[in-house]
Structure 1
Amino acid sequence: MKKLYYLIAICIGAGIGFLVGGSQAPLAAKGKSATKVIQSTPTYGGFKSQIAYGEHLVWISGCHDCHTPKKMTAEGFELDSTRLLSGHPAKLPAPDVNRAEVEQKGQVVTETLTAWVGPWGISYAANLTSDKTGIGNWQEKNFITSMRKGKYKGIESARSLLPPMPWPMYQNMTDEELKAIFAYLKSTKPIANVVPSPKPPVSPAPGK
């Protein structure tokens, strides 16, 4: 009988030792894995590179609608492929219109769709190419500030961006999207084009 009790005690002790030992190993493993730093790999929206993703975003976000000069064809306006994203042509004069009347009643654009007249005055589409007359000297943080806060050249103390720039919509883009767009713009063909400065309105804004 004593031998029987002795064998039962040995079995119980071995069982407890197994449970305790077996439960400690996974805990130790978990503790070890918790210290690892998981590196996330950028997905770039499923595109092969950040620049390719940025190019896609530029095309679908309507950037060419204002920042690329247009030319008239038998089928209407089309993008001037020799001046992509170069902004309002430096030598193209402002629209020849009755500004006071336009500013009070609505807005008008040039034939290149790069200059706009409205209650804010005259605004010109900026040069977004990698040239120094475009965004060649910009830093990524400038571009993000420009899109997030609507500031000229991404400078906090600068004037606000003028219509029709839809930055209130673009500010909802993710950091990844904005960084991809900037990376693409910095990779574009540099086109030297000094865009004219905007002009203030000639009459008080409507309602004032």
Structure 2
Amino acid sequence: MKKIVVLASLVSIGFLIQSCFDGNNNQTKSHSISKEQSIERGKYLVKITGCGDCHSPKKMGPMGPFEDSAQLLSGFRANDILPEIDTNSLKRGWALFYAEGTAMVSPAGTAYAANITSDTTGIGAWSFNQFKIAMTLGKWKGLENNRHLLPPMPWQNFAQMKEEDLRAIYDYLMSTKPVKNLVPSAVPSVLQQL
């Protein structure tokens, strides 16, 4: 009988301790951040994920290409023309990048880096939901019935992000200087046309 009382006491103490820990785990602190903090976080995420590598036109300097601060995140320059493409390289599996990094021709087609500034020629008229669809489902213009984004856009990586990080990136991009630049539409694979 004494063993049963001791065992019951230990079990009760165990449940009590467990409930204390469960109570702490179930309490979610509502950790809301300000819009300014979200924008700063988004700026940081845009920088470390390399968005500007493809989405910012470049200038050449003594150390090589650098982002054109006047055209930051505005995508492939609308008035640029890609040089002639060696389709034999594509047939052998090569992907060719434009010198600025804002366009790529590959067996998948020709992809032009989008304008992701707050201008309406960029993503300025997009809702957060459109942005989320583009970044997590890889849909052009964030519309579910549109085509998939072409490589090299790494949307599969962004699909793994927490929603608050996607929101921060969106908040930052919506706070950027609007740059009017209507990027050309993607072109289907040139190999299919040969």
TM-score by length of 2: 0.80
| Contact 1:68 1:85 (8 Å CA) reproduced | yes
| Contact 1:95 1:109 (8 Å CA) reproduced | no
Matched residue SS, 2:60? strand
| Contact 1:117 1:123 (8 Å CA) reproduced | yes
* Equivalent residue, structure 2, for 1:90: 78
Deviations 1:42-84 (A, max 9, x none): 258xx96111111110000110010001111121111111110
RMSD between superposed Cα atoms in Å: 2.0
CA distance in 2, matches of 1:138, 1:107: 30
Larger Rg: 1
What 5-or-longer segments of structure 2 have no aligned partner? 1-26
* Equivalent residue, structure 1, for 2:39: 51
1:35-50 matched pairs, under 5 angstroms: 40-43=30-33, 49-50=37-38
CA distance in 1, matches of 2:175, 2:164: 17
CA distance in 1, matches of 2:151, 2:142: 16
| Contact 2:57 2:101 (8 Å CA) reproduced | yes
Q: CA deviation at 1:137?
A: 0.6
CA distance in 1, matches of 2:88, 2:57: 26
Q: Is residue 2:114 matched to residue 1:126? A: yes
Matched residue SS, 1:141? helix
Residue 40 of structure 1 aligns with an amino acid whose one-letter code is S
Matched residue SS, 2:111? strand
Q: CA deviation at 1:107?
A: 1.0
| Contact 1:103 1:121 (8 Å CA) reproduced | no
Deviations 1:126-169 (A, max 9, x none): 00000000001100000111111100111010000000000111
Matched residue SS, 2:85? coil
| Contact 1:51 1:187 (8 Å CA) reproduced | yes
Q: Is residue 2:113 matched to residue 1:143? A: no
Deviations 1:85-144 (A, max 9, x none): 00000000023222x213212011112110101001211000000000000110000011
Residue 145 of structure 2 aligns with an amino acid whose one-letter code is S
Identity %: 44
CA distance in 2, matches of 1:121, 1:131: 26
* Equivalent residue, structure 1, for 2:50: 62
Residue 88 of structure 2 aligns with an amino acid whose one-letter code is E
What 5-or-longer segments of structure 1 have no aligned partner? 1-36
Matched residue SS, 1:49? helix
Residue 89 of structure 2 aligns with an amino acid whose one-letter code is V
Matched residue SS, 1:161? coil
Residue 167 of structure 1 aligns with an amino acid whose one-letter code is W
Aligned residues: 166
Runs (4 or more) in structure 1 with deviation over 4 Å come to none
1:196 alignment partner, one of 163, 181, 184: 184
| Contact 1:69 1:113 (8 Å CA) reproduced | yes
Q: Is residue 2:145 matched to residue 1:157? A: yes
